[in-house]
Chains A and B, each alone.
Chain A
């Protein structure tokens, strides 16, 4: 097994709980396949990286509005279908438990344990007015060039 490691890259654009769950399940599976895995979070996907507790930071009015209107952390994200004003996520979490599947926050935790590289897109972090201290520890900040460098060597590249 001396050949160089294969690579998987995933762009997580969506801020939906179900889509993020799919992304993180694939990431964890790819890590088990011994791939180098990168998840590049941009736009609404950045919400999966937000800390659950509010972090006191200085912000302008618009940035404060964005921060209020977007879910704070993976556990608060809504569903892409059947969200029903927040009842949908409660139901899906019940079903996840019933089937012994892993909820999104644990999937993210496991991805970190498995050495999956979590990247936040710097440009959209700025656009949405997020501060680095509002995002979970152990992530990197990068742009399109860093993503392309990984993706051009990627064996599996996904946009979710």
Chain B
């Protein structure tokens, strides 16, 4: 997978992961992929919900040692 940008949002609580993801996404072109790292458990639902509503696609997600990683493609 071609990742255009990596966002480290570890340690941040709601609403920061989504706020940062939005900022990072604004700098990308349609079709590019953003990789987001977060430790906020709420982000498990928050980021997919935000992506869906904003027209982006969550390509993949994994959880490892309490860190959630998302790959989101800009719509």
Where the two chains meet, the residues of A that have a C-beta atom closer than 8 Å to any C-beta of B are 1, 25, 28-29, 31-34, 99-102, 110, 114
- Inter-subunit contact B55/A1 (CB<8 Å): yes
Where the two chains meet, the residues of B that have a C-beta atom closer than 8 Å to any C-beta of A are 11-16, 18-19, 21-22, 50, 53-55, 75
- Inter-subunit contact A114/B54 (CB<8 Å): no
Q: Interface SS of chain A: helix, strand, loop or mixed?
A: loop
Asked, given contacts A1-B55, A1-B75, whether A32 binds B13 with beta carbons under 8 Å apart, the answer is no
- Inter-subunit contact A100/B11 (CB<8 Å): yes
Asked, given contacts A100-B11, A102-B13, whether A31 binds B75 with beta carbons under 8 Å apart, the answer is no
- CA gap between A130 and B57 in the complex, in Å: 47
Within 8 Å CB of B16, what residues of A? 102
Chain B: CB-nearest residue to A110: B19
- Inter-subunit contact A114/B13 (CB<8 Å): no
- CA gap between A119 and B12 in the complex, in Å: 28
- Inter-subunit contact B21/A32 (CB<8 Å): yes
Chain A: CB-nearest residue to B40: A100
Chain B: CB-nearest residue to A28: B15
The distance from the CB of A1 to the nearest CB of chain B, in whole angstroms, is 5
Known: A25-B14, A100-B12. 19 other contacts (CB 8 A): A1-B54, A28-B15, A28-B19, A29-B18, A29-B19, A31-B19, A32-B19, A32-B22, A33-B18, A33-B22, A33-B53, A33-B54, A34-B22, A34-B54, A99-B13, A100-B11, A100-B13, A102-B16, A114-B19
Of the candidates B11, B15, B75, the one having the most CB atoms from chain A within 10 angstroms of its own CB is B15
- CA gap between A101 and B13 in the complex, in Å: 5
A selection of 7 A-B contacts at a CB cut-off of 8 Å is A28-B19, A29-B18, A32-B18, A32-B22, A33-B22, A34-B54, A110-B19
Partner of A101, one of B14, B21, B53, B54: B14
Chain B: CB-nearest residue to A101: B13
- CA gap between A100 and B40 in the complex, in Å: 10
- Inter-subunit contact A33/B50 (CB<8 Å): yes
Within 8 Å CB of B14, what residues of A? 25, 29, 101
